[in-house]
């Protein structure tokens, strides 16, 4: 069975986030560590470093649906993209997070329709967190609303 419209959008998001590389004129190489729905913690290795950082996690949380014209289903999804970095110095970690945040905004802005699969992607909010245990880890979680449509009762066909 072919992927649903939402699955196609997720594939486009994943592919685009992985282009966040200095070689592609971004500020960071965060695209080397992109995770969809990663629920495991980022752990230190034997050397005391966090090998999976910097990283980008993305996941959807809620979806609101509305039937239009009895033939089209309009869907608004809350899409979260979180950038994470670690280190020992607060100012350095925050500076890396700010660069990654800017990279994500630039990346989403390349084509907010994700290849014509969505109508709109709009930034709604962001939240900064810094936590220290053995090593400092920070994140910026950005919430976007993504609007897409498919035929009513047919999530495989865009409308």
Tens-digit pLDDT string for the chain (159 aa): 789 999 999 999 999 999 999 999 999 999 999 999 987 776 666 666 666 689 999 999 999 999 988 899 999 999 999 999 988 788 888 999 999 999 999 999 999 999 999 999 999 999 999 887 767 788 999 999 999 999 999 999 999
d(CA 73, CA 8): 16
Q: Which domain holds residue 51?
A: 5-158
- Return all residues near 74 (Cβ < 8 A) that are at least 6 apart: 65, 66, 67, 68, 147, 148, 149
For residue 146, give both structure tokens.
Answer: 């993504």
Domain at 130, CATH number? 3.30.70.1700
Q: Give me the number of domains the chain comprises.
A: 1
Enter the pTM of the model.
Answer: 0.91
């Amino acid at each position: 069975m072919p992927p649903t419209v939402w699955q196609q959008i997720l594939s486009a998001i994943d592919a685009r986030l992985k282009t966040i590389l200095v070689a592609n004129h971004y500020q960071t190489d965060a695209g080397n560590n992109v995770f969809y729905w990663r629920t495991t913690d980022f752990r230190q290795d034997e050397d005391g470093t966090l090998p999976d950082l910097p990283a980008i996690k993305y996941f959807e949380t809620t979806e609101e649906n509305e039937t239009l014209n009895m033939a089209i289903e309009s869907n608004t999804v809350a899409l979260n993209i979180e950038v994470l970095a670690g280190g020992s110095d607060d100012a350095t970690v925050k500076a890396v997070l700010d660069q990654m945040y800017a990279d994500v905004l630039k990346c989403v802005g390349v084509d907010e329709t994700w290849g014509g699969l969505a109508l709109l992607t709009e930034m709604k909010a962001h939240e900064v967190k810094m936590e220290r245990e053995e090593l400092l880890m920070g994140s910026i979680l950005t919430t976007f609303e993504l609007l897409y449509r498919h035929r009513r009762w047919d999530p495989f066909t865009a409308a």
